[in-house]
Structure 1
Amino acid sequence: MTLTPAFLDELRARTSLSALVQKTVKLQRAGREMRGCCPFHNEKTPSFYVNDDKGFYHCFGCSAHGDAIKWMTDQRGLPFIDAVKELAAAAGLDMPEQDRRSAEKAERAKGLHDVTHAANDWFEAQLAGLDGAAVQALLRKRGVSEATARTFNLGFAPDSRAKLRTALKTIGDGPLIETGLLIQVEGKEPYDRFRGRLTIPIRDPRGRVIAWGARIIGEGEPKYLNSPDTPLFDKGRTLYNLDRAAPAARKAGRVLVVEGYMDVIALAQAGIAEVVAPLGTALTEHQLERLWRVAPVPTLCFDGDAAGQKASLRAAHRAVPLLAPGRSLRFVTLPDGQDPDDLVRARGASALEALLAQAEPLVDRLWTTELAAEPLDTPEQRAGLKRRLADLATGIADGAVRTEYQSEFRRRFDAHFAPAPRKPFVRSFDRRAGPYKPPILPVSADAKAVNATGIDRVLAKAVLAGLIRHPAEIAHHYEILRSLRMAAGDSGGALGRLFEAVVDLAVEDGTLDSAGLVTILAKSGFEAVATDLLRADTMPYSFTQAGGDTARAHADLDEAIAILVARPEVDDALADATAAMQARFTDEAFERQVALVREKAALERRLANLCQANEDARHFGFEGD
């Protein structure tokens, strides 16, 4: 079948867009247009307009825009060809001729839809009759109202091998077998598939019955029995309640995925209509793609037991390769042993909404699961965790998302296994006062030479230049440098970003020399900053110079890092001591302040000695020997 532009234009011209939209949205005349509240996002002031003359709708709030066909695909959730067929039928417009094979397939499907419709009417009638009393009692016990049962077209299959077959004998055994309603065993008479069960019709996106899920009444196995795959029904491509949930989901801006039919029905009755369920199996790639057409980040609300959590993890792993910018999953962990039906019946919809507000992003679910997968006490076990995370990220097809996951997993791994924070500066200045513990953050103007992170940027630049000159030293100071790079990174400037890049690169490849490190930094956009840092004439330290005594440079670099760490702590402590003395002058406060002033002066002398020693070496010609 070929849908030409001329045919589609004729279809749009014959369709009253406002009449189509008004089936689900209340519109009011506003000049030459119609206006109402947008069905694609929640709003109280109407910003959604329909223009019949131009044949389009537009929302000035969320920018939703389209014609009659797009309305059917976006708001109703229909596939494109189904949307066209439904509009054409309403407009009295014949569809273009199909090839013979496609026409025969369509005619056959139409006949099978008539069969499933007739069968479900019969199931509904049995539920309403005397034979359905036990099922009615079960629904009342589960809190399902009569109105909800009618909305979901629930029915009853009597406990008989031939009642349905007899009731639909005019249709014949062939179509009933083809739609899965009868079971055919070679050499025996066909018999009813569903017996003694509550029947729950499964619909396609256009709302046509294509299969059933059937729950046993009382005890027995299996608890649920589904239709087999048929020409109308593909279990791996179908989601229960998608025909009703899709419009509600677009309005709510979310879609929820639960495990079972009764969960869907219970939530819908509680006012949460944007809910679907897979059909007794793990979510498939096709089902995930359908969900992403409805909402960019579906929320999985599987049961709180071990089986439910395993199912959610399987869905997470199945989704990973398919991730794309803005397209992901979220997860809600229900109380252990409860499903959404239990939760809503016991505590109301608000209890579920509270859990939904705290839904866990996909990256969190993957991280916490892998973290808990096995002990992490040894280097080998930690390496295993790193490998598993790397494999997950590598499996993502989209390059941009893959890079972000690799970076995020690396950041979380580093943060989780970071050493305990260094102890704050502690010095006993007076036996009566006891050890003094300064505050963690910079406090006052006494630390004006220290930037917002507490790090002396001039000295930090020198240390960074030294690390680029001597990258092997990074491993010796990794614990200290980790905390320093976090502080430097908080500033958001080039220095902080370069500091983090240098430490990461050296840790990843312990064999990198200075030239190799600079080459990689240049490719990452740090060429100008790194080159500036390596200009020997800008910094008077042995470890920033090219050549020279390597052992001495390493020793001086050790000393510079120690000073870089200690100075902010002393400055903080001094600021606190000064403030304490100004608030209340005591001998103890004065002695504490004096001791800290001396400590600060000692650090300045140590730094000056580093500079002077380097100048002496250059003056006497020792540098480079």
Structure 2
Amino acid sequence: MALPASFLDELRARTPMAGLVGRRVRLARSGKQWKGCCPFHGEKSPSFFVYEDGYHCFGCGAHGDAISFVMQSQGLSFMEAVSQLAAEAGLEVPKPTPEAAEAERRRLDIVGVLQAVQAHYQRRLGLPEGRAARDYLAGRGLTEETIARFGLGWAGERGVLTAEMARQGIGLDQLMEAGLIRRDEETGRTYELFGQRVMFPIRDRRGVIISFGGRILGSGQPKYLNGPDTPVFSKRRNLYGLDLAREGVRAGATLVVVEGYMDVIAAAQALLSGAVAPLGTALTKEQLDELWRVSPCPVLCFDGDAAGAKAASRAMELALPLLTPERTLKFATLPTGEDPDTLVRKGGAAAFQAVLDIARSPVDALYDMLRAEIGDTTPEQRAALWSRLTEASGRIADKSLAWEYREALKERFRASRFRPGQRNNKWDGKRPGAWNQAAVPRAPRAHLHQDGTTAERTRILTAILLRHPFLLNEVFQAYNSLPLDPLLERLRTAMDAWAETAEALDSEGLINHLTKSGLESEVHHVLAEAPMPLPACAALDAMPADATTGWWHIFGFLNVEQLLEEVELARADANRNLTAETERRLRALVEAFSKVRSGEPDGVGLVDA
């Protein structure tokens, strides 16, 4: 039974190779790949490498994709292997229908047509009529070997292709289905899409020709033209040069996204063999997925002008929600007026590699983009910048990574406040969010008086959590960012561990657990009405909303910037998914922040000088 290529591609995409092979082979990281001892022949030194989309043994030569591995390792037939992997991936194997068989036959027919057309274009490039195209390619510095490797050709006068294909038994309908013939809607007449253009075959990740792009010689428009979407080609899903870039990345090259065909080809000729390019559109989610199947950290390379900055900003907007600890990016910016093609021709591979070597991480690129857009010289600009930074980090779906981004952006934001000659914030290295406050320039104040206020506030925050432990999950990151004295630190550690396994977050259950854990005296210290009475929000009978607002109100006097960050995160959550819970959280945080901003007392008797 012939299965649709689209189904098989989706099945491969949903099957992580390292996880699949790791069931039978002990794998270890080796750069961007994994390696282990080959399961198909006895060996003591690992020569079996696993990539994002396949495997290869340099000892016995075994290679293939996920389906091949299941077939070889379990002795299954093709359909048995597909059925097993489909069940694991949550896919349904298409049933053999006449329609499905016809669709697959058409797909194969289109691929065959495109192969014949490429051979035609390559022949035309070598004829006298292709002289102008050969001169153009030579003028761009391409060698005969590079031209042949990328299968470049020439589309001469319109009508020649149709006549040549007719002699090979390929009719207008087939050419139209392959995206090479168009029909004028007004006149009904057909015409060839490409004429008087240098032709660039577009291949899929396996090296199969799926479409063409063409560059006009002369002043016509558009300068570059890509074939339309067809049953085998989608501009949103494919990348120019991906088949050769996969080979380059496996050999150690960096996967780089550049702008156009010639950038890819110039980079490859300079032995920078990991370059790919979108196909006339801005980078898409589907293309990002394809990139991450090849490398966990591709580099997006943009021009150093306003258009390049705009393209980088669009890519950042697209990528942020998709980032994970295993899937990230880097952003490289070219010198103004240069593209990879011109840079390589002027300075060789070293000039382009120098740009890639200083590519920025997403967190640094994000901060720089927003700072350039908003500014940070006035209080209003800084407030707007912080709000945008917080909102942007909140769009990352992976919560742990989002938290790390917020902390890194917070560090950049705080550091930007101090001018040269001033001391800056320092990370104390003890726990996320714990800042060495002594390193922050501040007006002189009574040290003992300050410590007493802070200690009392952290005691009250802990008391609220003892009485209202439903807040533990909600305030976890903020509470864990606070430096505590050893007594409160012991309680915090125990409460964190209890909250992870407790069936119900109730005060009685928490205090019983802490008492049995030998922390009875610590609990008594926190809940004692000395050195001053606890505020009403820490009472056992306080309403949940009052306890929540009270906790954040007190916290705000310890770290108002993080309180503002929590407000923006809650606002973003409510905008994405307005529920009673997200609305309650936002209301409590906004009320607490308003109290802090207005200077309303938080119930602590000691007040900072």
The two structures have a TM-score, normalised by structure 1, of 0.60
Counterpart of 1:118 in structure 2 is 116
Compared CA separation, residues 104 and 382, structure 1 to 2 (3 A): same
Q: Tell me whether 1:131 sits opposite 2:163 in the alignment.
A: no
Partners of 1:371 and 1:262 in 2: how far apart?
33
Partners of 1:463 and 1:328 in 2: how far apart?
42
Q: Please give the secondary structure, in 1, of the residue aligned with 2:302.
A: coil
Partners of 2:278 and 2:40 in 1: how far apart?
39
Partners of 2:198 and 2:215 in 1: how far apart?
5
Partners of 2:152 and 2:71 in 1: how far apart?
26
Counterpart of 1:394 in structure 2 is 394
Compared CA separation, residues 241 and 104, structure 1 to 2 (3 A): same
Map 1:250-329 → 2, pairs under 5 A: 250-252=250-252, 254-329=254-329
Counterpart of 1:164 in structure 2 is 161
Partners of 2:449 and 2:480 in 1: how far apart?
11
Counterpart of 1:464 in structure 2 is 451
Give the one of 151, 154, 174 matched to 1:153: 151
- The alpha-carbon deviation at position 143 of structure 1 amounts to 0.0
Compared CA separation, residues 522 and 545, structure 1 to 2 (3 A): farther
Partners of 1:66 and 1:335 in 2: how far apart?
33
Q: Please give the secondary structure, in 1, of the residue aligned with 2:251.
A: helix
Counterpart of 1:579 in structure 2 is none
- The alpha-carbon deviation at position 420 of structure 1 amounts to 7.4
Cα RMSD, aligned residues only: 4.8
Map 1:401-420 → 2, pairs under 5 A: 401-418=401-418
Gaps of 5+ in 1: 4-37, 425-450, 473-496, 504-514, 537-543, 549-625
Q: Please give the secondary structure, in 1, of the residue aligned with 2:397.
A: coil
Deviations 1:420-454 (A, max 9, x none): 76699xxxxxxxxxxxxxxxxxxxxxxxxxx9x99
Map 1:197-276 → 2, pairs under 5 A: 197-252=197-252, 254-276=254-276
Counterpart of 1:184 in structure 2 is 183
Contact 1:216 1:223 in 2 (8 A): yes
Compared CA separation, residues 165 and 67, structure 1 to 2 (3 A): closer
- The alpha-carbon deviation at position 243 of structure 1 amounts to 1.1
Partners of 1:230 and 1:85 in 2: how far apart?
32
Contact 1:246 1:294 in 2 (8 A): yes
- The alpha-carbon deviation at position 99 of structure 1 amounts to 3.6
Deviations 1:159-182 (A, max 9, x none): x23111111122110010111111
Gaps of 5+ in 2: 4-27, 83-94, 425-435, 441-445, 460-477, 499-513, 535-609
Partners of 2:142 and 2:148 in 1: how far apart?
10
Counterpart of 1:356 in structure 2 is 356
Deviations 1:39-73 (A, max 9, x none): 97599xxx97656446xx99748x8459996449x
Q: Tell me whether 1:501 sits opposite 2:482 in the alignment.
A: yes
- The alpha-carbon deviation at position 199 of structure 1 amounts to 0.2
Compared CA separation, residues 92 and 421, structure 1 to 2 (3 A): closer
Partners of 2:118 and 2:30 in 1: how far apart?
32
The one-letter amino acid paired with 1:123 is: Y
The one-letter amino acid paired with 2:118 is: N
Contact 1:305 1:338 in 2 (8 A): no
Report how many aligned residue pairs link the two structures: 432
Deviations 1:478-506 (A, max 9, x none): xxxxxxxxxxxxxxxxxxx9996269xxx
Compared CA separation, residues 130 and 298, structure 1 to 2 (3 A): same
The one-letter amino acid paired with 2:251 is: K
Contact 1:194 1:214 in 2 (8 A): yes
Compared CA separation, residues 419 and 300, structure 1 to 2 (3 A): closer
- The alpha-carbon deviation at position 92 of structure 1 amounts to 12
Partners of 1:68 and 1:380 in 2: how far apart?
49
Contact 1:124 1:153 in 2 (8 A): yes
Compared CA separation, residues 141 and 86, structure 1 to 2 (3 A): farther
Contact 1:40 1:250 in 2 (8 A): no
Deviations 1:344-365 (A, max 9, x none): 1000101111221111111111
Deviations 1:221-242 (A, max 9, x none): 1110000111110000001111
Deviates more, 1:188-197 or 1:120-129: 188-197
Partners of 1:275 and 1:77 in 2: how far apart?
24
Partners of 1:67 and 1:258 in 2: how far apart?
21
Compared CA separation, residues 80 and 166, structure 1 to 2 (3 A): farther
The one-letter amino acid paired with 1:468 is: A
- The alpha-carbon deviation at position 305 of structure 1 amounts to 2.7
Identity of aligned residues (%): 36
